[in-house]
Every structure is written in C-alpha cells, then in structure tokens.
Amino acid sequence: MQKPFAITLDAGSSLANRTGSWRTSRPVYVDRLPPCNHACPAGEDIQGWLYLAESGNYRAAWERLVQNNPMPAIMGRACYHPCETACNRAQLDQAVSIHAVERFLGDEAIRQGWKLPAPAAPTWRHVLVVGAGPSGLSAAYHLRRLGHRVTIFEAGPMTGGMMRFGIPKYRLPRQILDAEVARIEEMGVEICLNTKVDDLASTMNETGVDAAFLAVGAHLAKRAYIPAGDASRILDALSVLRGMETGEPPILGRRVVVYGGGNTALDAARTAKRLGATEALIVYRRTREKMPAHELEMQEAMEEGIKFKWLSTIKEAGDGSFVVEKMKLDAQGFPQPTGEFETIAGDSLVLALGQDVDLGFLKNVQGLEIENGVVKVNSQMMTGCSNVFAGGDMVPSERTVTLAIGHGKKAAKNIDTFLRGAAVSATPKHALATFDRLNTWYYSDAPKTVQPQLDLLRRQTTFDEVMGGLNENNALFEARRCLSCGNCFECDNCYGLCPDNAVVKLGPGKRFEFDYEYCKGCGLCAEECPCGAIEMVPETV
C-alpha cells in the first residue's frame, strides 16, 4: 500500500522523540529504613520478613528472620515489641501485630522442625560465652554461623537465663524455650550447665579460647531493710520465680503482698495468684503512671484480679500483717514520706526491687572497668579488655530480652571482626521511612487481628499460656497489613501511572527501572508511590 505523504504515519515512529530531554528532575528508586526495623533492639529486618510472609512463604520469612534472631517463637512472646509502637500503620488504624506474626513463624518452625542455617567453614577460632541467657545464646548462634567454635558456660542447671527464671511459663511455655535453645545447640554450640566461672582470666587460660563474651545477667535480688518479726515471711521475687522452674514452688500463703513496681513484681503476683493465693496485692511507692512495668502486663494482671496499693512503702513486717506508710510525690515526682501509717494483712511479702549483677568473677581481667555495678563496654560491646566482650543485663542499658539478643548479635559480629583482625566497619543506615512519605490512599482499611486469649478462670488457676497464637490465615492477613514503608513492594503504581510509559517492569521480585530516554520528570510516580520508595532529584544542568 503506497501511503499518502505526511498525513499518514507508521506506528512506533514517535519512539524517535526522546522526551527525556524535557526533564528538570528525575525520579530514583530508594530503600528507606522502616520504623519497625529502626526500633528493633535485636536489629530484626521486620519489614523484610513480613514481605516474605505476605506471600505465604513462611519458611523463607522465618529464614530471613533468624538471620538476626534465632529465637522468634520466644521473641514473639517475650518482647514488648517497640517495633509496633513505631509502626507507621498505627497512625492509619492500628499497628501491625508484628509480634504475633513473629510468634506464628517461630511456632511454625518448631512444628515443622525447620533448621537454622548451617555454620560456615571452621575458622579454628574458639569463643567462650559465659551465660546461656538470651544474650549468650544469641552471641553463640551468630558466632557459630560464622564458623567459630563456641562453648557456653552456664552457672545454673538450665539454659535460658532470665527467659526461664524471669518470665513465668504462662507467658513463655517451656517447650518453646527448650525447642529454640535446642536448635542452637544442634548447630554445634557446646553448652556446659552448672559450670560457674569464678575467675574469667584463668578460665580463658585453661580453655585457651581466643575471645570471650560475657552475658551472666543480673540475678542478685536487691534487698531493702525492713524490720521484721521472727514469724514474718519475706522472700525475693527471683527465688519465687526460680523456684517455679526448679520444682520447689515457694509457700506463700493465702494473702500475698508484693513490694515493687517492675515486671518482676507483676510476674510474682500473678504467679502467687496461680499458686492459690486468694489475694495478691502489689505495693508500690509511686503512682501507676510512674510504674516501670509494661502496660500490657498491667492490663493482664488487673484482669486476673491483682490488687494495687500506690504511693506506699512497707515500713515493718509483722506476723500476718505489714505496716505501710503513705507517700506523696514532690515537685520532681519523687515519693516523700507523709508520716501517715496503716496496717495491711498478708501471709507473706515478696520483694521485687530489682536485681544486681554478680561481678566477682571479673576481678583479674586486665583493663576491664566496672561502673555502677555493671561492666563498661564500647560501641562494639568490647570491654576494656580487647578480647573480652559483654552484653545483656550486665552492661549499662535497659534490661529486656530483646535488647539482650541484640547485644549478642552485635557482640558476635564484633568478636568476629576482632578475631579476623579486620577493621571495625559500621554499615551505613538508610534514611528513615516516615509516615508523611506514604501515600496511604492506596492501603485499604484493615483492623488489627486480635490474638485469642485464655479465659480468665484458667488464667487465674493454671500456668497455661495466656496469649494464643495466630493461625495461618490471620497470620497472613496480619502480615499483609504491613505498609512496606520505604521499600518497593511491586504494587505497579509507578509502572501504571506514568503518562509516558517511562517505567520498565523487570518482572516478579525484580522491581522496576526508569527509562530516562522518555521520562519527562513529572513526578507522578513519586507522588503516587504508596510506600515512598521513589525520590525526585533535580537534574544537574
């Protein structure tokens, strides 16, 4: 067909017109740090494993998860999930229930018997880990993965440290704890129980280890001087909780008074209730607002009928009764005595006033410094002694299981660097994916999945786990509530909304690419990207 001149044109001829030259600013794909990852003390790549969980690929999600934390089933239960506090979705409806999905993945792994990644080739280096608590186990896991030989010396008769002796089984069932610890052992981590290190220096000499990681935790209960009659029964919370584990449940009586305001106090009171106490009363010298215990646990405790007595200190312990002085907060919010007294009935008093670290075994370690009862470490968790590292409750920081696990991971990384004689390198962090960068219109409304809870009666009378887990469906549902803040989740918006077809789709998992030959730089893609993973940068003229 001989076509008329000029008026009739061949298809595709416009490709010769490179409209990219119109551009004054160009779109670029970026990855931002999601607030959840940012807030996770264990440095978990939460958005990363949720991304995999969204597609129902739980195995992959779990494998991604355990790259940072070998104990998701425990974490999903014991962690106070700062990730959820930081979650951008909270500003939309409710935070994604990250811990619930994590727990689901952890439980699924146990159920299916998924294995942790095999260790790398042997490095013929040996690291001693002191203490089989969260921090120690975490460090051991990471070191082992890196191919190092790891030996754990645990003073106690059981692994888990505070995960076992600090967290009652109704919050963390023991078969879960045992399963995840066992999995770490299977990697070839050697755990020696009832092996107390009295003098680290000599132990290191004897064992000939190349480095040590100290994570003995804080197991010395703080005492307070309370004048007491002979008949009066006073215990400390840790021994109560430890007793539960070692098979010597304490005798507490029908009316139990717990003194303190931390999580341990709540655990002690809730344990007492489960042991048959008709009344468990928590006495705290400040107000509820000032109470360090976690809100969630407060809720549960109150539901279970735990009583509270605020602004009170225990002055004297008698037989079946205690003298309490009322306090009032001063301008700075510190409690001050009022001189008003009252007497309350109680068969026993449980002290939950915090714990100290037993640092005796460090006396001969060169250069190691101690300050306010804890070991000083630098940013690499290294003590003053170059091949000795420390973490968990024995170093200056908040005392949570998650943080402890984070310490273990961080220490392991640095021990490895140390052992390889490499220079310490800090991996640069992405900019934070803040809420204002999201285009939330594209996310449809979805209420948070509520985890089933054990009925009250059984909670008050047994040690069964209070929080149920998610099933496969609502776990998937929950995972998909993730907004994937700051990281492309391949929604195809940029690809579909470009008026100039200047976005190239690379295929599943491969994300997209801009075709700057034609991109006019209108900025629609950046504006309409739900998760804020596109940035407009000015063209340099």
**Binding range to another protein, per CB under 8 A, among 186-194, 271-279, 423-431, 526-534:** 526-534
CB of 334 to another protein, least distance (A): 46
Dist. CA 467–CA 475, nearest whole Å: 15
- Write the CA distances from 1 to 10, 12, 130, integer angstroms: 12, 18, 87
- Out of 482, 486, 487, 532, the only residue in the binding site for another protein (CB under 8 A) is 482
CB of 86 to another protein, least distance (A): 18
Name which of 216, 154, 152 is nearest 391 in CA terms.
216
Dist. CA 74–CA 242, nearest whole Å: 18
- Alpha carbons within 13 A on the beta-carbon side of 253: 18
Gap between the terminal Cα atoms of the chain: 46
Sign of the CA dihedral 250, 254, 259, 263?
Answer: positive
Interacting residues of 390 by C-beta distance below 8 A, sequence separation 6+: 213, 214, 215, 375, 377, 381, 383, 411
- Residue 377 engages another protein in binding (rule: CB under 8 A): no
Helix (H, G, I), strand (E, B) or coil at 294: coil
- Residue 541 engages another protein in binding (rule: CB under 8 A): no
- Residue 223 engages another protein in binding (rule: CB under 8 A): no
- Residue 480 engages another protein in binding (rule: CB under 8 A): yes
CB closer to another protein, 319 vs 539: 539
Dist. CA 238–CA 246, nearest whole Å: 12
Which residue type occupies 99?
Answer: H
- Residue 492 engages another protein in binding (rule: CB under 8 A): yes
Which residue type occupies 201?
Answer: A
Per-residue mark of binding to another protein, 139-168 (x: CB under 8 A): ------------------------------
- Residue 318 engages another protein in binding (rule: CB under 8 A): no
Q: Find the DSSP H helices in 349-439.
A: 401-419
Q: Which two tokens stand for residue 515?
A: 């075709």
The footprint of another protein on residues 51-90 (CB under 8 A) is: 54-55
- Residue 526 engages another protein in binding (rule: CB under 8 A): yes
- Out of 80, 114, 477, 516, the only residue in the binding site for another protein (CB under 8 A) is 477
- Residue 501 engages another protein in binding (rule: CB under 8 A): yes
Per-residue mark of binding to another protein, 429-468 (x: CB under 8 A): ------------xxxxxx----------------------
- Residue 505 engages another protein in binding (rule: CB under 8 A): yes
Dist. CA 441–CA 449, nearest whole Å: 21
- Out of 132, 518, 532, 533, the only residue in the binding site for another protein (CB under 8 A) is 518
Sign of the CA dihedral 65, 67, 71, 77?
Answer: negative
Query: Residue count at the site for another protein (CB under 8 A)?
Result: 63
- Out of 247, 372, 509, 540, the only residue in the binding site for another protein (CB under 8 A) is 509
CB of 36 to another protein, least distance (A): 14
Buried b (16+ CB within 10 A) or exposed e, 122-138: ebebbbbbbbbbbbbbb
CB closer to another protein, 27 vs 354: 27
CB closer to another protein, 5 vs 124: 5
- Residue 340 engages another protein in binding (rule: CB under 8 A): no
- Residue 26 engages another protein in binding (rule: CB under 8 A): no
Q: Name the residues that contact another protein, by CB under 8 A.
A: 1-19, 22, 54-55, 441-446, 477, 480-484, 489-493, 495-497, 499-502, 505, 507-509, 515, 517-518, 520-524, 526-528, 530, 536
